[in-house]
Amino acid sequence: MFEFQHTIKEPVEVTGVSLHTGEKTTLQFKPAPANHGIRFQRMDLPGEPVVHALVENVLDTQRGTTIGENGAVIHTVEHVLSTLTGLGIDNVLIQISGSEPPIFDGSAKTYAEAVKRAGIEQLSAKRDVFIPEAPVFFRSNGSSLVILPGDQFEISCTISFPNQLLDSQFLNIKIGPDTFEKEIAPARTFCFYEEVKPLLDSGLIKGGSLECAIVVKGDEILSKEALRFRDEFVRHKILDILGDVTLLGRPVRGHIMAVRPGHGTNTGFTKKLRDIVLKKRGAKKYSAEGASYEQMDIVELLNTLPHRYPFIMVDRILRLEATHCVGLKNVTINEPFFQGHFPGHPVMPGVLQLEAMAQVAGILMLKAGDNAGKIAYFMSADKVKFRKPVQPGDQLIIEVELTKSRGNRLAKAQCRILVDNEIASEAELMFSILDKDKGA
pLDDT tens series, the chain, 440 aa: 678 999 999 999 999 998 767 789 999 999 998 888 999 999 999 989 999 999 989 999 987 899 998 789 999 999 999 999 999 999 999 999 999 999 999 999 999 999 999 999 999 888 989 999 899 999 988 899 999 999 999 999 999 876 555 678 999 999 999 999 999 999 998 877 666 555 545 555 555 556 667 777 767 777 778 889 999 999 999 999 999 999 999 999 999 999 999 999 999 999 999 888 877 655 444 444 344 457 887 877 887 888 888 889 998 888 888 788 889 998 988 888 998 999 889 999 999 999 999 999 988 877 765 565 577 788 899 999 999 999 998 889 999 988 877 665 778 889 999 988 788 999 999 888 777 655 44
Residue 416: the pLDDT is 93
Q: What are the domain boundaries of the chain?
A: 4-280, 285-438
The 3-class SS string of the chain reads: CCCEEEEECCCEEEEEEECCCCCEEEEEEEECCCCCCEEEEECCCCCCCEEECCHHHEEECCCCCEEEECCEEECCCHHHHHHHHHCCCCCEEEEECCCCCECCCCCCHHHHHHHHHHCEEEEEEECCCECCCCCEEEEECCEEEEEECCCCEEEEEEECCCCCCCCCEEEEEECCHHHHHHHHCCCCCEEEHHHHHHHHHCCCCCCCCCCCCEEEECCEEECCCCCCCCCHHHHHHHHHHHHHHHHHCCCECEEEEEECCCHHHHHHHHHHHHHHHHHHCCCEEEEECCEEEEEECHHHHHHHCCCCCCCCCCCEEEEECCCEEEEEEECCCCCHHHHCCCCCCCCCCHHHHHHHHHHHHHHHHHCCCCCCCCEEEEEEEEEEEECCCCCCCCEEEEEEEEEEEECCCEEEEEEEEEECCEEEEEEEEEEEEECHHHCC
Contact 14, 102 (CB under 8 A): yes
Task: Assess whether the region 4-280 and the region 285-438 belong to the same CATH fold.
Answer: no
Query: For residues 32 and 156, is the Cβ–Cβ distance under 8 A?
Result: no
* Residue 257, strand partner residues: 146, 156
Chain-centroid distance of CA 161 in Å reads 32
Tell whether domain 285-438 is in CATH 3.10.129.10: yes
The alpha carbon of residue 239 and the mean position of all alpha carbons in its chain are separated, in whole angstroms, by 18
236 classed as catalytic: no
* Catalytic hit among 6, 79, 263, 324: 263
The per-residue pLDDT for 195 is: 63
36 is catalytic: no
Homologous superfamily (CATH) of 4-280 is lpxc deacetylase, domain 1 (3.30.230.20)
pLDDT on residue 286:
43
